Structure formats: structure tokens, C-alpha cells
Chains A and B, each alone.
Chain A
């Protein structure tokens, strides 16, 4: 079945440093979604990428979808303490259906002030 690998598992940064997490799928995706989970909270949708090579920005967050639609990245510029949490990618397989959304294991972002 479809597998979604996400690295790194943990990332420690000093406040103000940049942060990047990477996501790779074993199969070509219909789209990829990114979620953020604050400590003790539930995953919250951030963005969805659909097109090959797509780049989207949300303030300090930049999301990219690879040309082959099998990999993606999330980059945060100048991290702030409010960025703390776990970032998950989720790949939607071609053909849709609820079984087609596979989550990566997440990257835990820890920020040292």
C-alpha cells in the first residue's frame, strides 16, 4: 500500500532559525495536505497542494509540491515560539476515497528561546 515517509522526526532550533520538514510518498499523489498539531491538541489543516511543482506561501511558511507529485516540503522562515508543534503531511492517492489519505509520522518542532 501507499507509504508516506516524513523526515526528520524531531527538529530542535533556536528561535529565529529556519526549519524544514520533508515528505516522500512511495506512489504518485493526487494532492498533498499539511497539518499542524499543537502540544495536547488535534491536527489542524494548513494547506493543500494539487499541481505538479506548486509552491504556496502562508506568511513565514512555504509549501512545495514536487514535479513528480511524490514529494513535498514545508519551510518555516525565522521560527517563533508559536510555531512549536508537530507538522504532518498527508498524501491523497489518485482515485480519492477516505482510505487514500495517508499521514506521515510527523516532524516535532522544538524551539529554544
Chain B
């Protein structure tokens, strides 16, 4: 693979279920991010990681958790999905927090 890959592309999930969105990059980028995109609200940062082994909370972290066990992978977990988490989720990476960010193709999640 080249770049940044997200999986799945789309998912319909029952409320209360646990779900992990996967994100992998092969650019050896230090920084990785998870955003959700909702109409009229733009891109809102959920969680970020400046380097492997560290994570931080963004603007809308509640109901989500992340881990960064290695440089390449940055999974996002919804412990118990709720309908308000219906959104398009984008993973992104950059060399550091100041440089060009590369976005994955996105995951369209519907919680019913």
C-alpha cells in the first residue's frame, strides 16, 4: 500500500455495539489524527497522536478511544455506539503537527 488506508469504507452499526475503525499509513509519519465530518460542522478533531506511544484528546473525544502501539496504526474505537456518532470519519497523518496532512478515504458510519 502507499499512503493511508482506512477500513471499513462504510458500516451500519446497531446502537450499543462496539466498533473499531482501522487506519494504517506507510509513510512513517509521526503524527496521526482522527476527525469526524458532519454537515455544517466541518472537520472536528476526535483524538490525535504526535508519535507512537502517545495520544491526546481533540475537540470531541467523548465516546471514543484510540491507541498508538506503533508508527503505522491508529485505530479508533467506539465502546458503545450511539446514533449521534453517525458521521463520516477521516483518519489523517502528517510528518509532524505542522506539515501537510494526508487523509484516508473515510469511513461512513451509521448507528441505528
A interface residue numbers (CB < 8 A to B): 1, 6, 9, 30-31, 33, 35, 42-45, 48, 88, 90, 92, 96-106
Contacts and interface: CB of A to CB of B under 8 A. Distances in A.
A27 B46 CA distance: 21
B42 A92 contact: no
Interface of B: 31-33, 35, 40-45, 48-50, 56, 58-59, 90, 92, 94, 96-106
Contacts, number: 72
Contact of A33 (B31, B42, B100): B100
Given A42-B90, A44-B103, A105-B41, A99 B58 contact: yes
Contacts of B33: 98, 101
A51 to B, nearest CB: 14
Contact of B97 (A9, A35, A97, A104): A97
